[in-house]
Amino acid sequence: MPPALELNGLCKHFGGKAAVDGLTLTVPQGSFFGLVGPNGAGKTTSISMAVGLLRPDGGSARIFGIDVWADPIRSRARVGVLPDGLALPEQLTGRELLTYLGRLRGLDQATAALRAAELLDILDLVAAERTLVIDYSTGMRKKIGLATALLHGPRLLVLDEPFEAVDPVSALTIRGMLRHFVAGGGSVVLSSHVMALVEQLCDHVAVIDKGRVAISGPLADIQAGGSLEDRFVELVGADLQAGRAPSWLAS
C-alpha cells in the first residue's frame, strides 16, 4: 500500500535563500497528519510543491505513489487542496462557485448541485446565499475553500491552516467532518500553529524547521511523555525569550 503522500528531498529557493531544503516526509494512508513549525519554516511552500501549485527546484512528491509532477492529472484527481491566502473566482456566490467547480471536476449538473447544497448546509453557509465570495469574511473564505477541496470526494486532503479565523462552532463542525473522513479510510494533512489542536486531532506529527523535517512520527512518540508544545520549543526555539517585553511597555 503506497503512502498517501510521500515527499522526497523537496527543495525550493527564493532569490538564493532556501525556503525548503531537502524536505522528506511520508504520510501513511489513513493517518491524520499534522505539520507544525515556526513562521517561515517552509510549511506553505512544501504544501504548494506537494500538490502541484509550485514547481520544486529538486526532489519529488507522490500522492498514492503517483508522481505529482510527472502525472499531474491522475495524482490531482485523488487530492483535495485548501491553499492559504489564494483567490477564488470572486464574483460568484458560494453555491455558484461549488456548482461550477463540481462541473469542472466532471460531475453532472444534478450531482454538482446536490453536493454543493450539502456542503453549504454542513458548513453553515446557506445564510450567505446572496453574498459573493469577494464579500466573504476570512472565516467564510476558509470554509468555502474547504468545501471546494471536498467536492470531488478525494482520498487525501491537504489543508493549509484550515482553522485560522474560523469561529469555534464551525471549527467543531470541520473537525467532526475531518474525523469522519479519516475514520472512513481517508487521509488528512494539515498545517497549523495551534499545538493543542494538532494534539487533539492528529495521530501523526512532523515538526518543520528551516525548510527541513526536524522530527516526524506518531504523535505519542513525538510527545515522549510531555506536551507537543514542549517538544516543539525544544526542537525549534533554541533561543526562546519568553520573559522579554519592550522596555517602555511596563513603565
Give residues in contact with other proteins (CB under 8 A): 9, 11-15, 18-19, 21-22, 40, 45, 51-55, 57-58, 72-74, 76-77, 79, 81, 83, 85-93, 95-96, 99-101, 103-106, 109, 113, 129-132, 134-135, 141, 148
Q: How far is the CB of 228 from other proteins (least distance, A)?
A: 25
Task: Please tell me what DSSP assigns to residue 34.
Answer: E
3-class SS letters over 56-102: CCEEEEEECCEECCCCHHHHHHCEEEECCCCCCCCCCEHHHHHHHHH
Assess contact for 177 and 122: CB atoms under 8 A.
yes
Assess contact for 190 and 159: CB atoms under 8 A.
yes
Q: Which is nearer to other proteins, 73 or 127 (CB)?
A: 73
In single-letter form, the type of residue at position 221 comes to D
Q: How far is the CB of 58 from other proteins (least distance, A)?
A: 5
Q: Which is nearer to other proteins, 76 or 175 (CB)?
A: 76
Q: How far is the CB of 225 from other proteins (least distance, A)?
A: 27
Q: How far is the CB of 41 from other proteins (least distance, A)?
A: 11
Q: Which is nearer to other proteins, 14 or 180 (CB)?
A: 14
Q: How far is the CB of 75 from other proteins (least distance, A)?
A: 8
Q: Which is nearer to other proteins, 118 or 230 (CB)?
A: 118
Q: Which is nearer to other proteins, 35 or 54 (CB)?
A: 54
**In whole angstroms, what is the distance from residue 59 CA to residue 22 CA?**
7
Q: Which is nearer to other proteins, 73 or 169 (CB)?
A: 73
Note the residue count of the chain.
251
Looking only at the bridges linking them, the beta strands covering 17-27 and 5-14 are antiparallel
Distances in whole angstroms, Cα of residue 42 to Cα of each of 20, 101, 207, 243: 5, 29, 11, 27
Q: How far is the CB of 52 from other proteins (least distance, A)?
A: 6
**In whole angstroms, what is the distance from residue 214 CA to residue 216 CA?**
7
